[in-house]
Amino acid sequence: MYPKSLKKLIDHFASLPSVGPKMAERLVLYLFKQDKEKLADFSQSLIDLKENLTYCQRCGNLSEGDLCEICKDKSRNQNIVCVVEEPLDIIAIEKTRKYNGAYHVLGGVLELGNSNNNLRLKELENRVKERNVEEVILATNPTTEGDATALYVTRILKPFNIKITRLARGLATGGDIEYADEITLSSALTNRREM
């Protein structure tokens, strides 16, 4: 039913999170109506995504060099580290403009019954050990797994005698920091409590 080149692109779009087959069709038809230069620019951006973008070696944030803009920024308090699940959580917290410390991206949460994970926990431990960290703020999502992960990180970091805090409740349980509104998120940050 579809010409081959259309079908292939629709399949690509339909494979993206939250995009169903109907939406994929609409997007592809929309793109077809655009001029050639715009599409060339769009496809170049897709190629650049893997050419120029990598993970920050210190915090795991998305970065265009060895260190991300936040880790390089000397005006930020690098001794406070906010631990998040994914890079998009950093963007949500940055939007509140209430936080001037650094971050650490875990890359997910602990999954029940699966101790063999790829979370960047060792990196966090080393950072606390070597970089004069004074406070770690646990900003994993308020879900069962997010809470379990926060407890686990607390246990790992206890021996270092630093301040460990967790975002205040007020964020909907089971919710996602990435989608929290700025006011809720900044109050959760301001009212963070000690673990």
Binding footprint of Zn ion on the chain (CB under 5 A): 56, 58-59, 61, 68, 71
Q: Which is nearer to Zn ion, 77 or 190 (CB)?
A: 77
Dist. CA 53–CA 131, nearest whole Å: 25
Shortest CB 120 distance to Zn ion, Å = 11
Shortest CB 179 distance to Zn ion, Å = 23
Quickly count: other Cβ atoms within 10 Å of residue 144's Cβ. 12
Burial degree of 46 (CB within 10 A; 0-12, 13-18, 19+): exposed
- The answer for residues whose C-beta is within 8 angstroms of residue 49's C-beta and 6 or more apart is none
Q: Which is nearer to Zn ion, 60 or 146 (CB)?
A: 60
Q: Which is nearer to Zn ion, 72 or 98 (CB)?
A: 72
Shortest CB 81 distance to Zn ion, Å = 10
Q: Which is nearer to Zn ion, 64 or 111 (CB)?
A: 64
Q: What angle do CA 51, 69, 118 make, to 5 degrees?
A: 65
β-partners of residue 77 are: 101
Dist. CA 185–CA 181, nearest whole Å: 6
Shortest CB 47 distance to Zn ion, Å = 24
66, two tokens: 């060895």
